[in-house]
Chains A and B, each alone.
Chain A
Amino acid sequence: MTDISIVVRLKAPDPAAMTALSTLKRINPGICPGMLERYDYWQFIRPLDGKKTVEKIVSHFHDIVNPNKQSWRFTGGSGSIHSGGEELIWTEVLVTDKVDSISENWTDILRRNRYEVEKVMYSVLWRLGYPSGTSLTEARERTLALTVTSYRDQGLLANPVSQNINLLDQV
């Protein structure tokens, strides 16, 4: 049994991502990305039947994916999870609450409903797309600077006092 992750996005433009980008443009204009995307990121630990179990969960619980307004896909597969911006240099950062009641509650809910999953973990995935001339190293450095809120005018996407920050290689 391997862990399975999915990403969930709004079909319409994400208002939180739009507000975040607008704020970053104002406070950190020199290193701001051209595009910013936000996703719910659900990690299912050791689901009994792998993707089949996750598909059942996703189709049953509309609090995880509301098909009327959200779309989803497994991570790690082929194909892009974003629309447009193919020419950009993309970085991904995962923000997870250090003490996370959403994950705990969903683990309980799935257990009570007899879904064979050891644990569920919820995070927010931010994807930042930089102009094509940006090196990946520089893009990753910028992403960390924009994510880690250290001072009022530095960083936004995560408060490291209460959240874990994980710069991903590839979703």
Chain B
Amino acid sequence: MKNRPLVAVLQFPGSNCEYETASVVRDSGMDAAIFRWNQWKELSDSAPDAFILPGGFSFQDRVRAGAVAAKEEIMDLVFNEAQSGKPVLGICNGAQILVESGLVPGWENGRIESALAANHIHGRSGYLSRWLFLRVNARALRVSPWLGMIGNSAIPVPIAHAEGRFVFAEKDNHRVSECMALTYCDENGVEISDYPVNPNGSFMNLAGIMNKEGNILAMMPHPERAFWMWQIPPWIPGAWGDRRTSLNHDPALAASSGPGALFFRSLADYFELISREDV
């Protein structure tokens, strides 16, 4: 590994969150570089330590969100590196790509075992953009390099998607708990399967799923949009909202970290642990 771990942020035609994602990676103490979907060789040569597939509308969501990008040659490399244990994070459209790649839940290597279907819950369907709360599954907290610093309490993070409803084949529903990483909850951490706590009808309130090893995480909410405290709306209920409100008119607000930073700092912390073990 280099002095600072390198995180590759992949840019497909239609990605639109790559710059802010790379920026928050750097603000978390790691290096970040953006690679276009056709820079297979450059990506391979730079040997990144982790990969992020950012949000957006890769290939204009043609055919199905994430379906075309999942078949791109550059995803062969991501697929192989993910199988070797390197951390991979898919955010929103990136999560859709990981699902369509068969990287998550990954019960059988490369098999498509889940879908991010159109939002559909009693009282709401279609595109939805709003803040909501997440909590981390206990096992995911232990095994995922993306989640270690988040802890047990609920954190506010925004969503913005039309196809974010995790579904699985009926025969697989009994094993979904193995891949649970993030679930929608209220500000007290209570999971409620109705709208608005569950914004899209996602099975078991899932906001994010991972592979068995935990190194691959596909999540619909956008942690990069909650990286700084000033990005959090003051009206958000709970401890994070209180903290945000207390910083109103305080110059410290500009440099205070928000809940989304915990995802990226978990990764930095994970690399720090690895480098200490290497020594």
Is A162's CB under 8 angstroms from B68's CB?
A: no
In B57-111, the 8 Å CB interface with A consists of: 59-60, 62-64, 67-68, 70-71, 73, 75, 79, 100-102, 110-111
Distance in Å: Cβ of A6 to nearest Cβ of chain B: 22
Is A152's CB under 8 angstroms from B62's CB?
A: no
Residues of B within 8 A of A156 (CB): 63, 67-68, 71
A-B contact count (CB 8 A): 84
Is B63's CB under 8 angstroms from A20's CB?
A: yes
- Alpha-carbon distance A118/B252, docked complex (angstroms): 60
With CB as the reference atom, state the residue of chain B lying closest to A157.
B63
Distance in Å: Cβ of A18 to nearest Cβ of chain B: 9
Is A101's CB under 8 angstroms from B59's CB?
A: no
Total interface residues on B, using CB and 8 Å? 33
Q: Which of B111, B116, B120, B169 contacts A99 (CB 8 A)?
A: B120
Is B167's CB under 8 angstroms from A152's CB?
A: no
In A101-155, the 8 Å CB interface with B consists of: 101-102, 104-105, 149-153
Q: Does B190 contact A (CB under 8 A)?
A: no
Residues of B within 8 A of A102 (CB): 118
With CB as the reference atom, state the residue of chain A lying closest to B59.
A19
Q: Does A159 contact B (CB under 8 A)?
A: yes
Distance in Å: Cβ of A110 to nearest Cβ of chain B: 16
Q: Which of B60, B62, B111, B114 contacts A151 (CB 8 A)?
A: B111
Q: Which of A151, A153, A161 contacts B115 (CB 8 A)?
A: A161
In A47-101, the 8 Å CB interface with B consists of: 97-101
Q: Which of B62, B112, B114, B125 contacts A101 (CB 8 A)?
A: B125
Is A101's CB under 8 angstroms from B126's CB?
A: yes
Distance in Å: Cβ of B174 to nearest Cβ of chain A: 15
Distance in Å: Cβ of B38 to nearest Cβ of chain A: 13
Distance in Å: Cβ of A43 to nearest Cβ of chain B: 18
Is B63's CB under 8 angstroms from A19's CB?
A: yes
- Alpha-carbon distance A151/B71, docked complex (angstroms): 10
Residues of B within 8 A of A104 (CB): 125
Residues of B within 8 A of A150 (CB): 111-112
In B151-192, the 8 Å CB interface with A consists of: 165, 167-169
Residues of A within 8 A of B119 (CB): 101
Residues of B within 8 A of A157 (CB): 63
Is A162's CB under 8 angstroms from B117's CB?
A: yes
- Alpha-carbon distance A50/B228, docked complex (angstroms): 58
Is A15's CB under 8 angstroms from B60's CB?
A: yes
